[in-house]
Structure 1
Amino acid sequence: MLEVPGARLRYAVRGEGPLLLLIAGGHHGADANEPLARHLADRYTVLTYDRRGLSGSTTDAPATTLATHADDVSRLLSALTPEPALVHGTSLGALISLELTVGHPEQVAAVVAHEPPVTHLLPEPERAVALGQLLGVEDTFRREGPASAMRGFAADIDIDPNDREPDVPVRTPGPDHLRNAEVLLTHDMPAIRAHVLDVAALKESPARVVTAAGEKSGHVWPHTCAAMLAGELGTRLEIFPGGHNGYVFRPRGTAERLHAVLGS
């Protein structure tokens, strides 16, 4: 555990090689990254953690901005290494990784941001659709609770649990599932809607910034967000296996693709 202002972060380290931080998306704790971490630990020192308020991490002050999450990650990295780290984040985790790169550029050697929900970069009417979906999910949460809201959110971004590698088991929701969802829906989702990424600062960062998206998610707005960000940065959009949550359902393919992108 690491003490940070207002929270205690549970983290895990395994493997050998350059430090690679994995930041999960949505209401996922570090456990969602475990299969991916196992496929990377022969080449990297892999760091995973639970965001404040999720799973094994606790908080007296839930994050209301992504800058708080980025500061947590910065403190975690400072406790473990003096060198710039490699970072991979998906969805909300990708936004956190980009905010880290903007606010603490000296700590990031390279960042791979998979489908970050940078809604402010979307053209209309896509931006209105994206924000409408997020607001609709929050409204469902208030009316019907977290389980119904998360089902609607998964449908909106077309999460397909059947698109998985053969040896990846179906995940059974753990005891933290609904509590984590409540944290996401109460605090993190409004923060996503309000967040404006400083693209100019990102361009000036010494870190290598890679934007990625799923090969099967081209029809949903998070993929479009990634493409728009790549266009703003003047870089190529890297395509990864699966859809928006490919890191969960296709960890072996994601690990190989991530290694190839980081090494290119």
Structure 2
Amino acid sequence: MRSDTLKVPGATLYYEVRGNGPVLLLLPGSGGDAAVFDPIADTLAAHFTVVTLDPRGYSRSIIDSEEPGHRLMAAQRDNAVRFDEQVDGLIATQRHDTVRSTEPDDELITAQRDDTDRSTGRGGRLIATRRDNGFRSAEQVNLVIAPRRDDTGQSTDRPADELNVGRRDATAGSAQQDDGLIAAQREDAYRLLETLTPAGEDAYVFGGSGGAVVALDLLTYHPERLRLVVAHEPPCFAVLPDAAEQKAFIDEVYLLFRTEGIAAAGARFLQGIGGTMKPMPNPADLPPRAAEMIQRLHDNADLMMAHELRPITSYLPDEPTLATHTDRLILAAGKETRGHLPHRPAATLAEHLNLPLTEFPGGHSGFTDAPTEFATQLLNLLLATRVQ
């Protein structure tokens, strides 16, 4: 294995390369890095040039503060600041209401509603369901943003559905992306493929979780460079019939992150997706390379929760465009997540595109849950396409 870096607009990407043969790019899930694919990379490298990377801003891929790409993270921080201002208003209301918590329940609820109505001067209205113990538990918080209005009473805000990452204007075909995170990762992946794929050859891409969202976007924008894309459990909850409910769940997780920290948010997220992900191993029980990776993933968690959770889960694939490339797309999910949230977007998208859903061994992180079986099945799919 060799490692190298690639300068791209706004960042320097760290990547690793193993093996020989056609290029196979493995895209990790949100907050992951190149080493998460160690359990399957060597098996695949017997037939492919396997490329893994740290996405920009994570682990060893560094954002360049003076470059144009830095504006991406700046925009994300601005979005977080605006959300934090709304959270601050909620916390202040909670604190004030907790002082009066000895009042009867109906008076407390009325007081909360009145206090919340007065908070709209900060640009948003936060309506929270009543919690025991001063709203400090991890029950659901419903977030409703009241629109800003001009002097005529007309709303000056963009509708919420126009802000969905990856949503396309039906007439212009342009992506309406709130912060450009997915677009940046897509173009990083494309530049890496252009650098490492010999002229005239196609590349293969596997994406897991958030990496599957990036892989779908890569196929949408750069199909000419791709022989096959395998998208394993993309968490694009926006495709689901209950998308609004899932968005409320993600908003709740994000609010917990901002108010109670990464541990509370992570626990709620794992509970909400059905408890199908296995906990990370203890670094003390691992060899040095794996232990170092676990530490990096822990370090990445706050950045992922702050900037990537909402765009990735709000991504709405361009189904009309993907429908023209179904000959090079495999939608996949884990056998162990069947019936749970991580499984559903891939199944729904497969139904929309009239594609079969391919099930892999293990769960959401099948390549670490059952690496031997997972690598064998993935390799068979890739080789079958290669000989066509």
TM-score by length of 2: 0.62
Overall identity of the aligned pairs, in % = 37
Q: Aligned partner of 2:37: which letter?
A: N
Q: Does 1:159 align with 2:279?
A: no
Local SS of the residue matching 2:30: coil
Q: Does 1:261 align with 2:381?
A: yes
Instruction: Specify which of 192, 202, 209 is matched with residue 312 of structure 2.
Output: 192
Structure 1 counterpart of 2:225: 107
Instruction: Specify which of 138, 144, 147 is matched with residue 263 of structure 2.
Output: 147
Q: Distance in 2 between matches of 1:222 and 1:246?
A: 12
Instruction: Specify which of 208, 212, 219 is matched with residue 90 of structure 1.
Output: 208
Q: Aligned partner of 1:153: which letter?
A: F
Structure 2 counterpart of 1:71: 187
Q: Distance in 1 between matches of 2:264 and 2:35?
A: 22
5+ unaligned residues in a row in structure 1: which ranges?
A: none
* CA-based RMSD: 2.3
Moved over 6 A (4+): 168-171
- Which region of structure 1 is more displaced relative to structure 2, 25-34 or 69-78? 25-34
Local SS of the residue matching 1:106: helix
Shift of 1:14: 0.3
Instruction: Specify which of 28, 31, 41 is matched with residue 35 of structure 2.
Output: 31
**Contact 1:111-1:207 within 8 A present in 2 as well:** no
The higher radius of gyration belongs to: 2
Higher relative contact order (CA 8 A, sep 6+): 1
Q: 1:262 to 1:31 in 2, by over 3 A?
A: same
More helix by share: 2
TM-score by length of 1: 0.90
Q: 1:91 to 1:252 in 2, by over 3 A?
A: same
Shift of 1:206: 7.5
Q: Aligned partner of 1:24: which letter?
A: P
Shift of 1:249: 2.1
Q: Across the two proteins, how many residue pairs are aligned to each other? A: 259
Structure 1 counterpart of 2:324: 204
Shift of 1:207: 5.7
Structure 2 counterpart of 1:42: 46
- Kindly provide the CA deviation profile for residues 49-69 of structure 1, in whole angstroms up to 9, marking residues without a partner as x: 000011110113237331111
**Contact 1:39-1:251 within 8 A present in 2 as well:** no
Q: Distance in 2 between matches of 1:181 and 1:220?
A: 23
Shift of 1:108: 1.0
Q: Distance in 2 between matches of 1:182 and 1:133?
A: 18
Q: Distance in 2 between matches of 1:189 and 1:207?
A: 30
